[in-house]
Amino acid sequence: MMHPKFAVVGHPNKGKSSIVSALAMDDSVQISDTPGTTTKKRSFPLKVDGEILYELFDTPGFQRARRVLAWLEQHDVSADKKHEVVQLFINEHKDDPKFNDEVELLEPIMNGAGIIYVVDGSKPYGEEYEAEMEILRWTGQPSMALINHIDESDYSEEWKRALGHYFKMVRTFDPMNTSLEQHLSILESVAQLKEEWTASVKASIRLFEKYHEQMLDRSAAVISKVIYKSVSLVEKLTFYGEDATKDEKNRIEEKYKERLRALERSTQKSIESIWNHDHLQKEQQSFPLEGMDLFSEETASVFGLTRKELLVTAAASGAATGAGVDLLFGGATLLLGTGLGAVIGGVGAFFAFNELSEVKVLGQTLGKRYLEMGPMENRNFPYILLGRTVYHTTQVAKRSHAVRGVAEFHMDSIFKEKWLNDDLRKSLEKYHKKFRSGKEIEAEELAEYEVLIRDVLKYLI
């Protein structure tokens, strides 16, 4: 079954390239405010597992529509022959620089591509567009119109009345703010343009939905692995002497932190690649995670648990045995050891709120020895890293591929409350406890953790 093809055409600077970029999920499409940036047609196929779902052609804008239409109308033919006249125009003017743009945009249409005609609904309708629409009607190809809004003004109603005379279907579409539902809605509309296309477009829709599910699955897998790797990470530093100096202890702590930062950065790049945002630009001032260090108090307050939440979560996990009460309070306690594991777990989490991990001295008594830091003892750290990573993923996944320049993401003050409830926290803690045990985790356990993360992403995205 041949994949559907569509030529995105229209007046210069009406958002054609932005719509191609958004629908093809390709941020490499060249977009500019300068008219005439697109001078050659270019194909942008959306692929899933090597299979093309559909193909979009970014085309130059009409430059001499009235002259082209006048040439076509010199040929007095019946409706069933008009497409032949359009092909004749292409053949005769292929090397004529005056009609380069018209030839470039008409070629994919005459080779079987459907038409997506783009207009700017923030500008008033004008008769000058009628020559363009009439030319497209001469091609005989199924067509639909998309009303884009580049500015705030809204002339949609007059555009809809005019476009309805030329196109079977008229839709409003904002390429700068797209969602899965909007994307699927456009594809559903395309499926209705031509009976012969219905089966192939419907198949593409099913593949596109599968593709979205795959991106969620891959994101959850990447996030699960970075949490496990980070919490179980152990860093070592060789030293010589009877005891490590303060400088050596500071060095291993900084190495430990930098390894964790590097794991987070690598995960962010992987997430951006999964969602086809390989050209994403971030700026410290406008992307919260870039201006908020992984180990800062600010990031702990935004993404981490409160002390009360830590106590409740650790208590629910039963992180220690009752015998630990006597150790904690030097034997002088009014509490009996029986059944107090949950309480001690909570207290341990409270005391570990700001500390990362103990620095241990290992090796020979004299001579070559080494410092070791990790696994992560701070009960709050996995929630901080998870919160940051989930936030980054949701922002990347929701970002339209048509947006250019710096990624301006705005932090939601209640982001954590949207996804991290008491029940989920208790479920996550069960796995975080295993991660920091230092023991190797079974693949099945990591897969179970991954399911929890995937459910979060599906809810947020």
In this structure, what CATH number is given to the domain that contains residue 67?
3.40.50.300
Residues for the chain: how many in total?
461
Q: What residues make up the domain containing 374? A: 213-460
What does the alpha-carbon distance between residue 252 and residue 235 come to, in Å, rounded to a whole number? 7
Q: 105 Cβ partners below 8 Å, 6+ apart?
A: 7, 9, 41, 59, 60, 61, 62
Strand residues in 121-234 grouped as ranges (E): 143-148, 169-172
Whether residues 93 and 222 share a domain: the answer is no
Q: What is the pLDDT of residue 88?
A: 97
Same domain as 184, residue 255: no
SS3 196: helix
Same domain, residue pair 170 and 226 = no
Q: Which of 143, 10, 139, 141 is nearest to 85 (CA)?
A: 139
Backbone phi, psi, residue 388, to 5°: -65, -40
d(CA 6, CA 109): 8
Q: Is residue 202 a part of any domain in this protein?
A: no
Q: Phi/psi class of residue 348: alpha, beta or left (left: φ > 0; alpha: ψ in -120 to 50)?
A: alpha
Last residue of a domain, one of 193, 227, 250: 193
Residue 59's nearest CA partner among 125, 114, 103, 2 is 103
Q: 146 in a domain, yes or no?
A: yes
Structure tokens at 137: 């009607």
The pLDDT assigned to 384 comes to: 95
User: Quick one: 283 and 167 in the same domain?
Assistant: no
Residue 270 lies inside a defined structural domain of this protein: yes
Task: Report the DSSP pairing between strands 5-10 and 51-58.
Answer: parallel
CB 136 within 8 A of CB 166: yes
Q: CA 204 to CA 8: how far, in whole Å?
A: 18
Encode the chain (461 residues) as per-residue pLDDT tens digits: 678 899 999 998 888 999 999 999 998 888 766 666 667 899 999 888 888 889 999 999 999 999 999 999 999 999 999 999 999 999 999 999 999 999 999 999 999 999 999 999 999 999 999 999 999 999 999 999 999 999 999 999 999 999 999 998 999 999 999 899 999 999 999 888 888 888 888 988 998 999 999 999 999 999 999 999 999 999 999 887 778 889 999 999 999 999 999 999 999 999 999 999 988 876 544 455 667 899 988 888 889 998 888 888 877 766 443 333 333 333 333 333 334 344 444 444 444 445 788 788 877 655 678 899 999 999 999 999 999 999 999 999 999 999 877 666 666 778 999 999 999 999 999 999 999 998 889 999 999 999 999 999 999 99
Q: From the CB of residue 328, how many other CB atoms can be counted at a distance below 10 Å?
A: 17
Q: What is the pLDDT of residue 37?
A: 61
pLDDT at 325: 34
Domain count, the chain: 2
Look at residues 193, 222, 251 and tell me which one is the last residue of a structural domain.
193
Strands (E), 149-296: 169-172, 235-240
